Amino acid sequence: MTNIIELVRGGPLQRGSKDHDAVRVLQEALKRMGFTLVADGYFGGETETIIEAVQKDHGLKVDGIVGSATAAIIDGAPSQSGPAPVQPGPTFGSGAKKSDVSAHSLTVLKDVMAKAGVASVVISSTARDPFNQARVMFDNIMKTGVAAQKELYADAGDAVIDVCAAAQKAGKTPAETIKLMEAKIIALGPEKVSHHAADLTKLNVFDVAPSSIPSAKKTDWEAAIKANKGIAKFIFPPLDPGYHFEIKQPQS
């Protein structure tokens, strides 16, 4: 079995890493630790959130990057059949801001958790500025492809996806592509591209990392979401990389 520390001798593994074989080995190691994720060789937000959880639990710098210190922790972790220890209640990953989720929205989420018997979830994404909306869209296009992402968006979002496809065809770098996508989002109006850019006082939009839902609870979790009348809209994986929630806010 390949040790993770051997894989990072030439450089760390992190979001967007192109060594898909190494990332797949890392993901398999995380699965042996008890985390729920797909070992697809793509280092995206889900894998990053799990790495951050490992780092936090062991007192390391929480940056989602697998260097030698994080690799040593993963290599030394015992295999387990159950889920990794988690903190109770909703927690927030590096791509999410606690201030973006209202008390009302947390109450709705906690009700879903209680009905499903899920003790802890990780909110992986909340409101996004144009740059972060472009970054997330780029990551998801690289992972699932243009056609799959166009299933999620309306005309404005599709126009941004077209910018990405054209930039990649022209040989642009990821950074150059994301910059072009950001400019298109600003030109169109961020709220027209994604509800993640909606007015927080009217609509809270956030994603929950699928890796934080125990596989044995997945059916109950999804049933509880469908049954909750406080959720205006939801999208499940694989149509969306995360469990997507849209919750309207009470208006005085």
Q: How confident is the model at residue 84 (pLDDT cuts 50, 70, 90)?
A: very low
What pLDDT sits at residue 136?
87
Looking at the fold, whether 13 and 106 belong to one and the same domain comes out as: no
Looking at the fold, whether 8 and 62 belong to one and the same domain comes out as: yes
Query: Which of 176, 194, 212 is the last residue before a domain boundary?
Result: 194
| Alpha carbon separation from 120 to 61, 88, 92, 146 (Å, rounded) | 22, 5, 11, 32
Q: How confident is the model at residue 104 (pLDDT cuts 50, 70, 90)?
A: very high
pTM above 0.85, yes or no: no
Query: Which of 174, 194, 214 is the last residue before a domain boundary?
Result: 194
What pLDDT, in 10s, does the model give residues 172-226? 999 999 999 999 999 999 999 999 988 899 999 999 988 889 889 999 999 999 9
Looking at the fold, whether 156 and 206 belong to one and the same domain comes out as: no
Domains: count for the chain = 3
Looking at the fold, whether 118 and 202 belong to one and the same domain comes out as: yes
| 89-92, strands of its sheet edge to edge | 89-92, 120-125, 203-208, 243-248, 233-235
Q: Is residue 145 part of a domain?
A: yes
Looking at the fold, whether 62 and 143 belong to one and the same domain comes out as: no
What pLDDT sits at residue 82?
47
Percent of the chain with pLDDT over 90: 61
Percent of the chain with pLDDT over 70: 95
Range of the domain at 42: 4-76
Q: Is residue 44 part of a domain?
A: yes
What pLDDT, in 10s, does the model give residues 3-37? 999 999 989 999 989 899 999 999 999 888 877 77
What pLDDT, in 10s, does the model give residues 151-185? 989 999 999 999 999 999 999 999 999 999 999 99
Looking at the fold, whether 189 and 212 belong to one and the same domain comes out as: no
CA angle 11–15–18, rounded 5-degree value? 60
